[in-house]
Amino acid sequence: MDILEKYRPLVERHKKMLELGQNAVGLRMDDVYSPTRARIDGKEIILAGTNNYMAITFDPACIKAGQKALEDYGTGTTGSRIANGSYALHLDLEKSLAGFLNRKHSIVFSTGYQANLGSIAGLAGPRDTVYLDADSHSSIYDACALSGARLIRFKHNNADDLAKRLRRSSEDEGGRLVVLEGIYSMFGDRAPLREFVDVKHEYGFELLVDEAHSTGVLGANGRGLADEAGLESDVDFVVGTFSKSFGAIGGFAASDHELFEMLRFAARAYMFSASPSPATIATVKEAIKQLESRPELRQKLRHNSERLHHGFKSLGLELCCDVPSPIIAVRIADEPTAVVLWNRLLEAGVYVNIALPPGTPNGVCLLRCSVSAGHSEQDIDKIIALFETVVLSLPEALQD
């Protein structure tokens, strides 16, 4: 049997998508004008599906820092830090990042995916047990598989279910690591952190929070959910990405644990991957300065998120989360309907994400918006109006 023959059903599924319009999972943007505008098929489109929360990708200071790093250090590192050594930029960023996160240690990875892969598989081994929320990101599931640790899933955002599973496994040898997310990437809901911390105090385990979508977004200091909840001292490990609020590429892990630096010699995703490019490191370092000195970006993002969430609710759309966040997901009945509506929205002038099984919890189909601090109130209102137009034309759209 041909080794790729197993993908024949996927080919047919993709073919049906193309018959309904554009390639929704491989769209080409010919030009990107700003954090909230791009040219697609010769038309300027509002971007409402980029995760560009702080609108930092076109920040002049970040661009200038990246350009200087290109001139001073060249285009890339051409190897891992274990083999080739660290540039001063890498060490400077880790120091700045640890300060921003109010942690003693931080480690930079080449992608956010690798940050989860390296951190979790570095922390947990075959004698350990990882407890993770059933709606966890694919990178977290992959990290658990790589670790060789025993994996126990608990119901999404259900601290009581975690406690029940901990009671059943009270005699297990090795360490116990619980993994949560600050903001979950598909529905936009957040973990009830205090409830989980109460369970931690009762049963004892080490807690890792993936703050990929909440760093820069939540908390008085922009450090994420633990910052917002006032529970940073109860979180042992923080993982995140530079591809959202920091407007770049890469990832990080941070902790106060005295042995945390040993992950550099145990995390395969760190040891055997080329380190981030100088330009990337420089732009992230500058982005940290911007987020620290401009709290108004978080305030604008919160305002925009609440405005879009309220607007969608007033339309009667079925939202996946009742609490406003920068991720606002609209539940759609089925895949063909989602594809048709996604195309209609794009034709009308707004780009959103389409999220389909198996990449979504419980096999749901979503049209997912991610709000930016760069959106104006007029942008938000136009997105609401376009959703209204498309939803009202749903019966007609499905007949075409």
pLDDT digits (tens, 9 = 90+) for 205-242: 999 999 999 999 999 999 999 999 999 999 999 999 99
Residue span of the structural domain in which 175 resides? 60-293
The CATH number covering residue 111 comes to: 3.40.640.10
Sheet order of strands, 365-370 included: 327-332, 365-370, 353-355
Domain check: are 230 and 96 in the same one? yes
Mean model confidence pLDDT for the chain: 96
pTM: 0.95
- Of residues 172 and 231, more confidently modeled: 231
Pick the last residue of a domain from 258, 293, 328: 293
CB within 8 A of 304, min separation 6: which ones?
A: 326, 371, 372, 373, 375, 377, 380
Pick the last residue of a domain from 276, 293, 310: 293
* Overall domain count for the chain: 2
Domain check: are 239 and 335 in the same one? no
For residue range 241-276, what is the model confidence (pLDDT) as tens digits?
Answer: 999 999 999 999 999 999 999 999 999 999 999 999
Domain check: are 206 and 313 in the same one? no
For residue range 103-113, what is the model confidence (pLDDT) as tens digits?
Answer: 999 999 999 99
Q: How many residues does the chain have?
A: 400
For residue range 118-139, what is the model confidence (pLDDT) as tens digits?
Answer: 999 999 999 999 999 999 999 9
Pick the last residue of a domain from 263, 293, 323: 293
Nearest-CA neighbor of 209 among 169, 178, 244, 180?
180
Q: Are strands 327-332 and 365-370 parallel, antiparallel or unpaired?
A: antiparallel
Domain check: are 131 and 24 in the same one? no
17, pLDDT greater than 60 = yes
Q: Determine the Cα–Cα distance for residues 281 and 279; give it in Å rounded to an integer.
A: 5
Domain check: are 178 and 249 in the same one? yes
Q: Find the mean pLDDT for residues 162-186.
A: 92
CB 273 within 8 Å of CB 110? yes
Domain check: are 323 and 333 in the same one? yes
pLDDT at 399: 46
DSSP annotation of 182 reads S
pLDDT at 311: 97
Domain check: are 15 and 67 in the same one? no
Domain check: are 242 and 141 in the same one? yes
1, pLDDT greater than 90 = no
The CATH number covering residue 33 comes to: 3.90.1150.10
- pLDDT-derived band at 171, boundaries 50, 70, 90: confident
Domain check: are 245 and 114 in the same one? yes
CB 130 within 8 Å of CB 147? yes
Domain check: are 283 and 371 in the same one? no
395, pLDDT greater than 70 = no
CA max distance for the chain = 63
Domain check: are 203 and 92 in the same one? yes
Domain check: are 107 and 194 in the same one? yes
397, pLDDT greater than 60 = no
Element housing 109 (H / E): strand 105-109
Q: Which residues pair with 240 in a beta bridge?
A: 252
- pLDDT-derived band at 172, boundaries 50, 70, 90: confident
pLDDT at 170: 72
pLDDT at 396: 56
| Preceding amide of 358 cis, omega within 30 | yes
Q: Considering the chain, what percentage of its residues have pLDDT values greater than 90?
A: 96
